[in-house]
Amino acid sequence: MFAKQYSHRLPADYDMGVIRERAARLGPLWDHTEGLLFKAFIAQERGQGPGVGNLYSSVYLWSDPLQAADFLLGERFQKVLDSFGQPHIESWLPLDVQRGPAQNALSLYREEWALAPGADRTQILATEKARNQQIADSSDNFAVFLALDVQAWKLVRITLSEKALDVRHPGSGYEVFYLARPGV
């Protein structure tokens, strides 16, 4: 498995309706993508919370890393490059993936925390896997995954919820404009 996120900062006065339309138009093209568990077209809009500006982002969870590489090196990603330039891509090694009972997602939350050099990583992983299961068991959650950022030595948790965005939720919150889920 392979997970990644890239984001594009947009001007404060950017019409986010353009991004909504883009997600609605391009999202269905991902509904049958081989090797992809899901792709969330997500955004943050200015005024949604303290310090939040306009941002367009995508989060991917791939079952097949080779398909992820084909995407990044192929024509589909060239469209991203042509539209927004070359983004910094955060990539993660998934450690635990859980499917929840919800059938769709309106919000995505990203939490992250550093792994200290002397930490009991085995115990942390067991604890966080149990926490993932608790999150997945909530009736309003579509999916949750825990991943390791091997470059920064931090854990990242992505939660997809069918509830509307709640700015009080821990971590960074995003509105889901479209959820392609060919492998879920």
CATH number for the domain spanning 146: value is 3.30.70.100
Give per-residue pLDDT as tens, 54-79: 999 999 999 999 999 999 999 999 98
At residue 168, the pLDDT reads 87
| Per-residue confidence band for 26, with pLDDT thresholds at 50, 70 and 90 | very high
Instruction: Tell me the pTM.
Output: 0.94
Q: Which residues are CB-neighbours of 39 under 8 A, at least 6 positions away? A: 27, 30, 33, 58, 59, 60, 61, 179, 180
Give per-residue pLDDT as tens, 122-137: 999 999 999 999 999 9
Q: What is the largest CA-CA distance in the chain?
A: 47
* Interatomic CA distance for residues 62 and 17, integer angstroms: 28
At residue 14, the pLDDT reads 94
Structural domain containing residue 156: 2-180
| Per-residue confidence band for 22, with pLDDT thresholds at 50, 70 and 90 | very high
Which burial class, exposed, middle or buried, applies to 41 when counting CB atoms under 10 A from its CB (0-12, 13-18, 19+)?
Answer: buried
Contact present, 65 and 50 (Cβ < 8 Å): no
At residue 131, the pLDDT reads 97
51 pLDDT above the threshold of 90: no
Q: How many domains does the chain have?
A: 1
Contact present, 113 and 171 (Cβ < 8 Å): no
At residue 50, the pLDDT reads 59
